Structure 1
Amino acid sequence: MHTWIFDLDNTLHDASPHIFPHISRSMTAYLQTHLRLDPEAASTLRLTYWRRYGATLLGLMRHHGTDPRHFLWHTHQFPELERMLRREPYLHGVLRRLPGRKIIFSNSPVHYARAVVRLLGIDRYFDDVFSIEHTKFRPKPDAYGFRRLLRRHRLEPRRCVMVDDTAENLRTAKRLGMRTVWVTRSKRVPGFVDVRIGSLLELPRRLNLLT
């Protein structure tokens, strides 16, 4: 029986319309305040670090000695999180139909990830929410966090299925021996992806491809 490892944002819910723009604005404001930059310079630096390191946080830690917990706390505040959430239709039914353990593996901080899971009403389906703090702030696609998750739950990679909207995260999962499911509308599928789905609704019907 598989252990299902799910990404959170843009996999179990749609973060693009409201949540991701809010985080981007919050990060820019953080850089303005703590690095004393004007809005344009702060936005440029945020994007530069994101493109170079895959996460703005990594650039701030490397070049400015930023405290990651302080940064993540202040950039992931959502007074109206429930209103901003865009739920995947029939998500509960999909999760109920998947046999095996389920874990969330997210690059977001634990306070935000747990709040989203609670508001989606899906906490009962998951054994753990494995957040960026658990990776010692080495986010996906870094293999370090994957290995920590596997050790924490005593998992064999060959018995795990990684479900994610980001291809590079799946590349790492595949290298470690996991099966991979890419949630995307892309028609071009790289070799490290075992199953491509346009929506989580398709997942229970594709189980035969993951055995």
Structure 2
Amino acid sequence: MLADIDTWVLDLDNTLYPADSALAGQLTHGILSTIAEHYGTDLTGARRIQSDLVAEYGTSLRGAMVTGTIDPHEFLGFEQRIDYSTIGPDPVLAEVLRGLPGRRYVYTNGSAYHAEQVLGRLGLTECIDGVFDILAADLIPKPYDESLDAFLASFGIDPVRAAMFDDLEVNLTGPHERGMTTVWVAGGTPYEQLAARRWRAADLPGFLRANI
């Protein structure tokens, strides 16, 4: 069903590892702590501010830069304090990714540093041909068209021959409109087809094995 695909575009957080992992919890705490410090509030207030920032600007970082004066590298500094040992190798996913025909990229709203740490811990570094992070996108996050355009141009990707996997459905709308096959990585049945070139999959390795 994915025989015409030669480029595989993978989100990182909550896509290549579970959303309920300890790592995901550390990311949330790190972002909230940074927002709390920057805006002079507690974690409860930071949650409200983060919700507003994400709703209006796509990510907490972009919102904080637009509404404040925070330096992006300062904002992302919490990543240096994350304990990445809370995730470990995923040999099943590694085997499946290595077997995919063509190129494999990580497209993330996080930083390249964070992506490198996660991929290394999961044992997926050698499975990925390139990483496109929020800094490469000039701090414009998914789902904005400018971010997608920059990503596609950076690696010379033909959308019609590409498949994109993301845990946020909103991030897949633009790619699908460009002709990409999209797979929403979310809970539910192992996988199901939602429409032409649109899928939902709870089991990413299982979906790939069944459809290539």
Verify same fold: TM over 0.5: yes
Aligned counterpart, 1:194: 198
Are 2:10 and 1:3 equivalent residues in the alignment?
no
The two structures, once aligned, show a CA RMSD in angstroms of 2.2
Aligned counterpart, 1:91: 93
Match for 1:130 among 132, 140, 158?
Answer: 132
Count of residue pairs brought into register by the alignment: 205
Aligned counterpart, 1:20: 24
Match for 2:61 among 57, 65, 87?
Answer: 57
CA contact (8 A) 1:14 1:86 kept: no
CA contact (8 A) 1:14 1:88 kept: no
Are 2:84 and 1:77 equivalent residues in the alignment?
no
Are 2:197 and 1:205 equivalent residues in the alignment?
no
Structure 1, unaligned runs of 5 or more: none
CA contact (8 A) 2:194 2:200 kept: no
Q: Return the offset for 1:13.
A: 1.3
Cα offsets for 1:125-178 (capped at 9, x unmatched): 111011111111111111212211211111211111111121111111111221
Report 1:24-173 matches (<5 A).
24-72=28-76, 74-82=77-85, 84-85=86-87, 88=90, 90-173=92-175
Counterpart AA for 1:81: Y
Counterpart AA for 2:110: S
Structure 2, unaligned runs of 5 or more: none
The alpha-carbon distance between structure 1 residues 138 and 64, as it changes in their structure 2 partners (threshold 3 A), is same
Percent identity over paired residues = 29
Q: Return the offset for 1:79.
A: 4.4
Give secondary structure in 2 for the equivalent of 1:133: coil
TM-score, normalised on structure 2?
Answer: 0.86
The alpha-carbon distance between structure 1 residues 141 and 28, as it changes in their structure 2 partners (threshold 3 A), is same
CA contact (8 A) 1:181 1:195 kept: yes
List 4+ stretches of structure 1 deviating above 6 A. Answer: none
CA contact (8 A) 1:163 1:180 kept: yes
The alpha-carbon distance between structure 1 residues 156 and 29, as it changes in their structure 2 partners (threshold 3 A), is same
**24-33 vs 122-131, greater mean Cα deviation:** 24-33
Paired with 2:36 and 2:201, the residues of 1 have a C-alpha distance of 39
CA contact (8 A) 2:91 2:123 kept: no
CA contact (8 A) 1:138 1:144 kept: yes
Paired with 2:199 and 2:40, the residues of 1 have a C-alpha distance of 46
